[in-house]
Amino acid sequence: MDSPRRSSPPPPRPLATLGLAYVAAFFLLYMLLLLSPTLWTVARLDAPGPEKQELARVAARDAARPRLPIAFVAALATTALGIRAGVLPGFRGRRR
């Protein structure tokens, strides 16, 4: 007699970790997009290397403060919509 085949359980899917990774990636992308005009303006200045680096650091810090909440909310919304639509790898086929 044949013994019944046992199917192995599906591998664990760390959905919370994957979701956090997507939020972090989208957050970095949105911050880069929101800060790029400021950094582009600093890059076009005629200043010596170390002075230009300091100007870029200060300009990015000052420009980032008011834009942090915008980027965070946009990252959360993009991740939520991507999960809901089933377009993010790791969340495909899981409609809620």
**For residue 5, what pLDDT is reported?**
75
**For residue 4, what pLDDT is reported?**
66
User: Cα separation of 72 and 3, whole Å?
Assistant: 54
Domain segments of the chain as ranges: 15-85
Please report which residue ranges of 1-96 form alpha helices under DSSP H.
Answer: 15-43, 49-85
pLDDT tens by residue, 18-57 = 999 999 999 999 999 999 999 999 889 888 888 989 998 9
User: Cα separation of 51 and 37, whole Å?
Assistant: 19
Quickly tell me which residue has 């002075």 as its tokens.
Answer: 51
Question: What's the whole-model pTM score?
Answer: 0.78
